[in-house]
Amino acid sequence: MLEVSKKNKLLASFEFELGKVEKGYTDRRLYINLSENKIEEKPIDREVKETFTGGRGYGIWYLWDAVSSKTKWNDPENEIIFCTGPICGVTQYSGTGKTHVVSLSPETGTVNDNNVGGYLAPFLKFSGWDLLEIQGKAKEDVIIFIDGNKGKVIIEEVPGINSDTYSLIEKLTERYADDEKDKRNLSIVSSGRGAENTNLGILNVTWYDVRRRKVRIKQAGRGGTGSIFRDKKILAIITKYTGVNAGSNHAAYPELITEAGRRLTEEILGLDHIQNGMREIGTVNLLDHMQNYNCLPVHNFKFGSHPDAYKIDSKVWHQRMTQNQAGDSCWMGCAMRCSHAVDGFELTTGPLKGEKVLVDGPEYETTAGFGGNCGCFDPDFILEANFYCDNYGMDTIGVSTTIAFLMECYENNIINKEITEGLELNFGNTKAALELIHQMAEGKGFAKIAGLGIRQIKKILAEKYEADAKFLQDIGMECKGMEFSEYVTKESLAQQGGYGIANKGPQHDESWLIFMDQVNNQIPTFEDKAEALHYFPLFRTWFSIVGLCKLPWNDIEPEDNKQKYHGMEAAKVPEHVENYCWLFEGVTGKHLTPEELILQSERVHNLQRLFNLKMGFGTRKHDIIPYRAMGPVTAEEYESRKELYDLQLREIIKFNIKGKTTEEKIKVLRDYREKQYQMLCDAVYKRRGWDSNGVPTLDTIKKLKINFPEVVELVKEYQS
């Protein structure tokens, strides 16, 4: 149990009127300033509600208000904003427990958004808060405790406690729960030492797994939000709320919610085992398909498959993950139940060596990143890396993509043992990779550089070690400062755009079009791709403004979806879109059409693009991706798919390859593919109502009713 030591000090206390949720909203936000030990209730203005709907929409707007164009991620005025949404907390429909987190990122320097499971957002809302907004910095580590039943918030100084997640959340659960049964009423946010010492920090958000009697975690992973959390010296946030039920949102038309829930639950229970098996292995089902279709990142995205991939395929994880666990739902009532875990895993390295632990995961991204990209096709290594990254509060995607990049640098003699301080960072060296993860968490030696993320590593290697900056740019898989998530995009122009033009950086949660484009060939023209890159990012944005998880949208679909609908229409899963319209109307009482749903998102998505602009980013040059995301950088890569590339040169580019060297062919192919990418940007910008520099036009912001004076002034600065 966490000691109540003499060093602990109550810094602030605040009593509030108990939560009153009406049609999914509380219309107020909880504001905490850690520099001033101030806790306040603030309203959510009617205009903000009408314009930005909720969740991430609110988060981006209030962060815009809080920071200037000069604010850095570690300035006190930067905020971490935890957002709920009007549909958040519904218990009759799967995937409604997501928290969305908004802040200025240490990796990108601009606005970032995360989504994360666990019980935080519903508990926050039912306690009476649509948002939790934290500004300022504490002097020593603090715990923020929100009691949603007693109507009390306290900030307590608790110096000298190890911030690593697993032991901390166990201790805090013991301290704050009245008894075993009460543990399910807590949700804790924590991070770890890795977040303190790198830019790749995550937030872990808990729920209590009643079946296992264990505290479980999900991660807000991308962009370094955990590093801000620890920079503000927040050790943990604990929210306690008792009394969730089907009526907690005081919905306008509960019968609509029940009907939508019935339809989806029937599909999940009846079809999941023959569709994606989310209830058995979760997202890691993707690994086999990415391998088979050449999209699995191998050796820093050089290749799309590997003969050893079977060692980490879905069959392996089916055996390792404990099956039939009701506690694998990261919010109440979710039938998808995809938050799987491996129980009783014995750690072989690090501070917890020899202990048997529960590993939350692995998800697809972690498996592909550490397994394929680092060339370590070893499930035990993946589990150990997964556990320690979570425990230290580090992003498994950012860390694995960074290590893969360093491995390629090592194999190309750009770095050596002298620079890495003894680490032999060859692809496949599991021991060195784990050692690097431990060092990153401690901020030791070469890991100080590794923990900065690829963008800053490239700069250091070029400036300090005279590395070829152009080659590093080609193989360093980051865009806007964020590391790529784990898909090979060379043969999908649409997914290249999905990564490159994404507001926060190359994370797949904004769009995932690989199969629709590369395999099904359903969006062959630039206009088709632009339409897909208009609709799908906006559709996915909507989940974050109303408080939902993406997975039940299309990781399960009606049996006859592909027969009833065709092409891009089928990919929208129209019956699920209808469910979402019912859910929105059912909770808020406002009728919503599929077109209005997109409009709600479009306002938020454009404001986020403009936020990038405010921070000095957000134009065409910031949407450039490294060439490895577009095509083969090295002869080795070209030769690995020579037949395909030669065919494209002959048939599409009409280039006579006879007698040409591989290097000559790479150059011609590169020239063609880079131009294709620019043409895609042209088409997407046009479809989105942006100018040729990627800036939303005055007409667009007026149409979206986000033409606030400050926004208009900003856009005018960029008008040619």
Partner 1 sequence: MIKVNGRDKVWEENLTVAFLLERCKYTFPLIMVKINGKYIPKEKYKDTAIIDGDDVQVVHSIAGG
**Of positions 462, 570, 577, 653, contacts partner 1 by CB under 8 A:** 570
The single-letter code of the amino acid at 530 is A
Q: Is the dihedral of CA 237, 243, 249, 255 positive or negative?
A: positive
Compute the CA torsion angle 269, 273, 274, 277 (nearest 10 deg): 120
Q: Does 508 participate in binding partner 1 (rule CB under 8 A)?
A: yes
**Of positions 365, 395, 478, 623, contacts partner 1 by CB under 8 A:** 365
Give a three-class secondary structure readout of 126-155. HHCCCEEEEECCCCCCEEEEEECCCCEEEE
Name the minimum Å distance from CB 573 to partner 1: 9
* 549-584 b/e (C-beta count within 10 Å ≥ 16 → b): bbbbbbbbbbeebeeebeebebbbbbbbbebbbbbb
If the CB atoms of residues 52 and 484 are measured against partner 1, the closer one turns out to be: 484
**Of positions 99, 198, 522, 579, contacts partner 1 by CB under 8 A:** 522
**Residue 284 DSSP SS3:** helix
> Across 482-578, where does the E strand assignment appear?
482-483
Q: Does 520 participate in binding partner 1 (rule CB under 8 A)?
A: yes
Q: Does 521 participate in binding partner 1 (rule CB under 8 A)?
A: yes
If the CB atoms of residues 506 and 586 are measured against partner 1, the closer one turns out to be: 506
If the CB atoms of residues 292 and 719 are measured against partner 1, the closer one turns out to be: 292
- C-alpha distances in Å from residue 344, one per residue of 181, 281, 329, 355, 360: 23, 17, 20, 9, 11
Closest by CA to 227, choosing from 204, 203, 195, 197, is 195
**Of positions 515, 535, 672, 718, contacts partner 1 by CB under 8 A:** 515
If the CB atoms of residues 29 and 550 are measured against partner 1, the closer one turns out to be: 550
Per-residue string for binding with partner 1, 287-306, x by CB under 8 A? -xx--xx-------------
612: tokens are: 């990038």
Residue 362, preceding bond cis, omega within 30 degrees?
A: yes
Complete DSSP assignment for 348-364: -SSTTTT-EEEEE---H
If the CB atoms of residues 249 and 305 are measured against partner 1, the closer one turns out to be: 305
Q: Does 364 participate in binding partner 1 (rule CB under 8 A)?
A: yes
Q: Does 535 participate in binding partner 1 (rule CB under 8 A)?
A: no
If the CB atoms of residues 14 and 293 are measured against partner 1, the closer one turns out to be: 293
Q: Does 64 participate in binding partner 1 (rule CB under 8 A)?
A: no
Q: Which stretch binds partner 1 (CB under 8 A): 84-92, 102-110, 434-442, 555-563?
A: 555-563
Q: Does 489 participate in binding partner 1 (rule CB under 8 A)?
A: no
Q: Which stretch binds partner 1 (CB under 8 A): 296-304, 446-454, 476-484, 547-555?
A: 547-555
Q: Does 270 participate in binding partner 1 (rule CB under 8 A)?
A: no
Name the minimum Å distance from CB 297 to partner 1: 12
Beta bridge partners of 394: 201
Q: Does 276 participate in binding partner 1 (rule CB under 8 A)?
A: yes
**Of positions 435, 557, 602, 691, contacts partner 1 by CB under 8 A:** 557
Name the minimum Å distance from CB 284 to partner 1: 12
Number of H helices, E strands in the chain: 31, 17
Closest by CA to 80, choosing from 44, 11, 30, is 30
Name the minimum Å distance from CB 292 to partner 1: 5
If the CB atoms of residues 61 and 512 are measured against partner 1, the closer one turns out to be: 512
Q: How do strand 80-83 and strand 131-135 relate by DSSP bridges?
A: antiparallel
DSSP 17: P
Are 112 and 103 in contact by the 8 Å Cβ rule? The answer is yes
If the CB atoms of residues 329 and 648 are measured against partner 1, the closer one turns out to be: 648
Q: Which stretch binds partner 1 (CB under 8 A): 27-35, 170-178, 281-289, 624-632?
A: 281-289
**Of positions 1, 274, 658, 716, contacts partner 1 by CB under 8 A:** 274
Using CB under 8 A, count the residues that bind partner 1.
32
Q: Does 554 participate in binding partner 1 (rule CB under 8 A)?
A: yes
Q: Does 286 participate in binding partner 1 (rule CB under 8 A)?
A: yes
Closest by CA to 110, choosing from 489, 463, 502, is 502
**Residue 217 DSSP SS3:** strand
- C-alpha distances in Å from residue 383, one per residue of 271, 315, 395, 438: 29, 15, 14, 14
If the CB atoms of residues 147 and 365 are measured against partner 1, the closer one turns out to be: 365
d(CA 709, CA 707): 6
Q: Which stretch binds partner 1 (CB under 8 A): 370-378, 388-396, 513-521, 638-646?
A: 513-521
Enumerate the H helices of 370-443 as residue ranges: 379-392, 396-411, 417-420, 430-442
Q: Which residues bind partner 1 (CB under 8 A)?
A: 274-276, 283, 286, 288-289, 292-293, 364-365, 485, 487, 508-509, 512, 514-515, 519-522, 524, 551, 553-555, 557, 561-563, 570
